[in-house]
Amino acid sequence: TTATMTITVNPNITPTFTQVSAICNGATLAALPTTSTNSITGTWSPALNNTATTTYTFTPTAGQCATTATMTITVNSTTPAPTGTATQVFCVTPAPTVASLTATGTGIQWYAAATGGTPLASTAALVDGTTYYASQTVNDCESTTRMAVTVDFNDPQITASATTVCSG
C-alpha cells in the first residue's frame, strides 16, 4: 500500500499598520505598535528618530507565516524664525494693534514672550517700548525661535509761536 500525505502551505501574511503622520523635527514620536492591525506580533528597527525621516522595518515574531513590513516616518525640517525690522515705529493715533506689526514669513503669529505663551489676538493694543515676538509656521511646524520686534510710538506735535499765519 502507498501512504499519502497532504501538506498545506499557508501563504505569508503581510503585517499592516496605520501610517504615522509626519512630525516636526524634535517633536515627540510615539512608540510604534508591536502588533499589526491584522494581529501579527513583532519588533521594529532601527530605534525611533525624531530628527530625520527614517524607514523602519517590522520583523514578525518567528512561527507566524508573516513577512517583514516597512513604514517611513517623515520628519519635517526645523522652521526658522521669520524676518523683519527689529524696531517698528507707529503713530499714536489711530491706536496700533498687533495686526499693525509686520514680519516676513508664513503663518506669522505674535507673542508677548520669546518662548512659550499663547499667540496674541490681532486686535490687542500695542504698548510703546514693548518687545513682541513673531514665529512662523511651515509644513505645520512652528519655529522654535522667534523674531523680536520693539514698538516705538511717534507722537508728532505741531507747535506755533507766531500769532500771524500766512496763506499757503
Q: What is the pLDDT of residue 53?
A: 97
Q: What is the pLDDT of residue 11?
A: 85
- The answer, yes or no, to whether residue 47 has pLDDT greater than 90, is yes
Q: Which three cell numbers stand for residue 120?
A: 496674541
Q: Tell me the percentage of the chain whose pLDDT exceeds 70.
A: 92
Q: What is the pLDDT of residue 158?
A: 63
Determine the Cα–Cα distance for residues 122 and 159; give it in Å rounded to an integer.
Answer: 34
Going by pLDDT thresholds of 50, 70 and 90, the confidence category of residue 93 is confident
**Over residues 10-20, mean pLDDT:** 93
**Over residues 69-96, mean pLDDT:** 94
**Over residues 57-61, mean pLDDT:** 97
- The answer, yes or no, to whether residue 150 has pLDDT greater than 90, is yes
Q: What is the pLDDT of residue 9?
A: 77
Determine the Cα–Cα distance for residues 66 and 126; give it in Å rounded to an integer.
Answer: 63
Going by pLDDT thresholds of 50, 70 and 90, the confidence category of residue 7 is confident
Q: What is the pLDDT of residue 48?
A: 97
1 Cα distance to chain centroid: 74
**Phi, psi (rounded to 5 degrees) for 55:** -100, 125
Going by pLDDT thresholds of 50, 70 and 90, the confidence category of residue 164 is low
**Over residues 56-83, mean pLDDT:** 95
Q: Output the pTM of the full model.
A: 0.69
**Over residues 37-49, mean pLDDT:** 97
